Amino acid sequence: MTETFDLIDLLNVNRDKGRIIWLCNIGAEKYWNKVNAGISDSSEDIIVNHIEEMNLLLCRRQDIMLLREPPAPEYLEMLELLGFSIPEILTPENPDPSVPISELVLKDDVLISKLREISGSDSQVFFVPYAVTTVEEQIAEKARLKLTGSSSAVNAKINDKIFNRQISETLGLPVCEGKVCLSIEEIRDEYRRLSEDCGFKRVIIKEPYGASGKGLYIVDSQTKLEPVLRIISRFSRNDPNAKWLVEGWYEKKADINYQIYVSPSGKVTVFSIKQQLLNDTVYIGSKLPPDLSEDEITQYQNYGRIIGEYLYSIGYSGVAGIDSIITKDSTIIPIIEINGRFTLSTYISFLKQVIGDKTVLTRYFRLASRLRIGFDEFYSILEDNDLDFKPDKKEGVIVYTSATLPVHANREGTSFLGRIFTLVVAEGMSGIEYYNNRLEKLIEAI
């Protein structure tokens, strides 16, 4: 790592400087700590692993993107036509769709040798993964790459939801009503206090680690609490140090995600404040710009700097995505959780160079289709319905991954599963609503 590296500067200002080797290793949480993932679905895991393609939205032409397999040519052509820069793409020899990308890279001696050669030929080559775990540290060591960001141990600590609450308390920030519980009985007692004494209609129980809604339990009655406690008890039976965060579920005006970048020298940049769309706890999209007042924007900028400076003081550097809420009474609770890594929101944070100052709504759909629908077929459907993004008008729908589309058969072979990541771009919210309503009907029909 070098003190002169500044990711935000390289993406926004000095785009022709340096060379970044990108790796989108989604699913890093399992390397930091044991996560209760529930029942695994191999077909879903394959789709999640292919989300790595969205990293292409950040690349510059001189960069290198590590992907498990080359993307659809039509997808790359579309990105380039819209103004995105297509980097050099390197792939491992074995593109096993069920294995995390970092493990594939680490086991590929030819690819590691190629990366070592690239690193040795240029002092300004930087390795930027989605998250830093022990696997990326091993890749960096074998390939002699300058790994940006803090160590895997620090990353694991930052991604602990219980530690996130402790950060808020240490900094004197507003926090949700609740507490850290050390036993099933404590959870039961805290649920009673929050629901009966504090008047919360719903209570959320969080495991320390987890992403995409995993390890989170929303409880709205004593009847629903007991089955949740049995699940928690079963998974924590052999962990004497198990802890859970139990908090009241607030009625909200908005879910806000804001990104911060802590440079190796300690400079904190707050960027990309977005209004998130959630289905309970699962992310389904974001809106840019958010419906916030100037005062609220200023508060988020201040909170981001305070939090970033604290993270730097305990050894953290790199991108962090912070989820927060604004309650019905307009109180900002600045930390619901901190993701000490890139998030899905990070990859859509630098679109201005391509779409200008337009309003953007990101929409994420899970899809099961009777027919296999690749990128070319899906884009033809958008064009037939006059929904495709028009570069001259800078309006319409952009699909920003290809390999997550419904091209993966389920275990029974009865349908094709997919996840569709789209950008809905227009002039103002009326245009956004026009395109989004039509897109929802189209997805429903598919």
Asked if 179 and 220 count as a contact pair (C-beta separation under 8 A), the reply is: no
Residue with tokens 């950040």: 58
Ordered DSSP codes for 248-263: E---EEEEEEEEEEE-
Asked if 378 and 445 count as a contact pair (C-beta separation under 8 A), the reply is: no
Residue with tokens 């064009």: 383
CB atoms near residue 13 (< 10 Å)? 10
- Return the pLDDT at 1: 46
Q: How far apart are CA 367 and CA 418, in angstroms?
A: 5
Sheet architecture: strand order including 203-206: 178-181, 244-248, 203-206, 216-219
Q: Where are the domains of the chain?
A: 7-155, 177-248, 251-340, 351-445
- Return the pLDDT at 223: 92
Q: How far apart are CA 286 and CA 276, in angstroms?
A: 4
Ordered DSSP codes for 35-60: ----S--HHHHHHHHGGGGGGGGT--
Helix %, strand %, coil % of the chain (to 5): 35, 25, 35
Of 39, 45, 84, the residue nearest 68 (C-alpha): 45
Of 209, 236, 235, 205, the residue nearest 32 (C-alpha): 209
* Maximal C-alpha separation, the chain: 65
Check: CATH 3.30.70 for 351-445? yes
- Return the pLDDT at 210: 63
Number of H helices, E strands in the chain: 15, 18
- Return the pLDDT at 383: 96
Token pair of 181 as six digits: 């519980």
Evaluate whether 177-248 and 351-445 have a shared fold.
Answer: no
Burial string for 369-405 (b: 16+ CB within 10 Å, else e) reads: beeebbbeebbeebeeeebbbeeeebbbbbbbbbbbb
- 3-state DSSP call for residue 130? coil
CATH code of the domain occupying 251-340: 3.30.470.20
Of 344, 273, 283, the residue nearest 303 (C-alpha): 273
- Return the pLDDT at 379: 94
| pLDDT by 10-residue block (mean), the chain, 446 residues | 82 96 92 61 82 97 97 95 96 92 97 97 95 97 97 94 96 97 95 97 88 80 94 82 93 96 96 86 84 96 98 97 97 97 93 90 92 94 96 94 90 87 95 95 92
Asked if 432 and 397 count as a contact pair (C-beta separation under 8 A), the reply is: no
Check: CATH 3.90.1150.10 for 177-248? no
Q: How far apart are CA 320 and CA 256, in angstroms?
A: 14
In a 13 Å sphere around the CA of 262, the CA atoms on its Cβ side amount to 24
Q: Which residues contact 241 (CB under 8 A, 6 or more apart)?
A: none
